[in-house]
Amino acid sequence: MRQRNNVNTTRRILLGTATTLVVVAACGSGTDTPGHDMPDRGDTGTRTTAPSLSESTSTRPRAVDLDGTAPCGLLTDGQLPTLKIDTAGRPVDSDFYKTTGCSWTVIGAGSHLVPVTVEGISAWTDGKRAGQAETIDPVLDFPAITVTLPSDEGRCDVMVDTSEGQYLVAAFSVLPTYEDRFPAPCDGARKLAEAAMENLLK
């Protein structure tokens, strides 16, 4: 019974933080319309441009169409143990991305995948949204960035440029006091993105 209560508590906390970046982006822009100019507000985090990654100069090996992708089908049962996931994924609607993602919540951590089809990855790299965007090594040869908030050290989003006007979001969150049981947030997010991309490329 205690373990079930812990899982429920963890799920409530992680679901509360699962949309931190998109909520900040929407609030920072004054609208929920992606790409709208963000007014000068000091409480919405750091605005950073990742100049080396843009759709016009993308070096993706091929286009991966995310239209119609079932988010909870992005991971196989065989991949879950390596990602320290022991529960089934649950669909979660995202008003900001205008689509449905999938969340996997365990005691102390949460994983979240969203196939985004309403905008390109440059929406996060043009400096108009809150969050620190940094170009990272490609994920299975596809260009990728991390997006983090200085105020939320327990969460990291890896975004993979899959095709023109589309990208995959892989977010990983770790609760305080559980850091020794899970990868660092950006490491966990990258492993999640790699696992999902493996399946998308099949």
108 compared with 16, residue with greater pLDDT? 108
155-163 and 142-148 beta bridge pairing: antiparallel
142-148 and 132-139 beta bridge pairing: antiparallel
pLDDT in tens, 105-139: 999 999 999 999 999 999 998 888 888 999 999 99
pLDDT band at 87 (very low <50, low <70, confident <90, very high): very high
pLDDT in tens, 54-85: 554 568 999 999 999 999 999 999 999 999 99
Residue 20: count other Cβ atoms within 10 Å of its Cβ: 20
Positive or negative: CA dihedral 200, 186, 3, 19? negative
pLDDT of 18 over the 70 cut: no
Provide the pLDDT for residue 28: 33
* Burial of 57 per CB tally in 10 Å (0-12, 13-18, 19+): exposed
% of the chain surpassing 90 pLDDT = 66
Structural domain boundaries of the chain?
2-200
Provide the pLDDT for residue 178: 95
pLDDT of 48 over the 90 cut: no
% of the chain surpassing 70 pLDDT = 71
Provide the pLDDT for residue 21: 43
